[in-house]
Amino acid sequence: MFFILKKTSTFAPHFNFLNRNQIMSVNKVILLGNVGRDPEVHYTDTNVAVARFTLATTERGYTQSNGTVIPDKTEWHNIVLWRGLAEVAEKYVRKGGKVYIEGKIRNRSWEDKEGNKRYTTEIYGDVLELLDRRPLYNNENQAPMPTEEPRRPAVAPPSDETAEAPVKDLPF
């Protein structure tokens, strides 16, 4: 039997023992980069939005202590967003914009027109955050693109009136 020690807490001195069959796996990707092209948005037969675009992430180059120059290295990622995220991408994501993506790696294959088997790796996004501070412009008239309304707090702070409300007026 094979066991792995898993520390249950940084504050607790005890450990749990996990059986090999209890080991879980993780498929999680976090990317922060620049959009390579405007999203292509399509709708399925059941009217579900699907957006696809590329995202570039770059590791900056440097010079080693012996003088060797290591150049920048850019990786290109194929991003796929579904439903509401696809609709947000359609409205607000533009080529050159900076975005934060959390998601999963998915591999798929298909046969092309010549019968060759083709493969691709895609990032299926679960979280999309727009990071641009400058307004993005559309190509037609160079007017700023619409922006989202500022986020409001989930719970409003209590006012003086609600703090002294009688108990019988509470909804529960």
Query: 31-135, superfamily in CATH?
Result: Nucleic acid-binding proteins (2.40.50.140)
pLDDT above 80 for 4: no
The amino acid present at 81, given as its one-letter code, is: L
Tell me how many degrees the CA angle 19-25-26 measures, rounded to the nearest 5: 150
Task: Say which residue, 122 or 170, is predicted with more confidence.
Answer: 122
Could you tell me the two tokens for 149? Answer: 């309304």
* Across 122-151, average pLDDT: 67
Per-residue confidence (pLDDT) for residue 101, from 0 to 100: 96
Per-residue confidence (pLDDT) for residue 67, from 0 to 100: 92
3-state secondary structure of 29: strand
Task: Say which residue, 2 or 55, is predicted with more confidence.
Answer: 55
Of the listed ranges 7-11, 71-75, 108-112, the one predicted with least confidence = 7-11
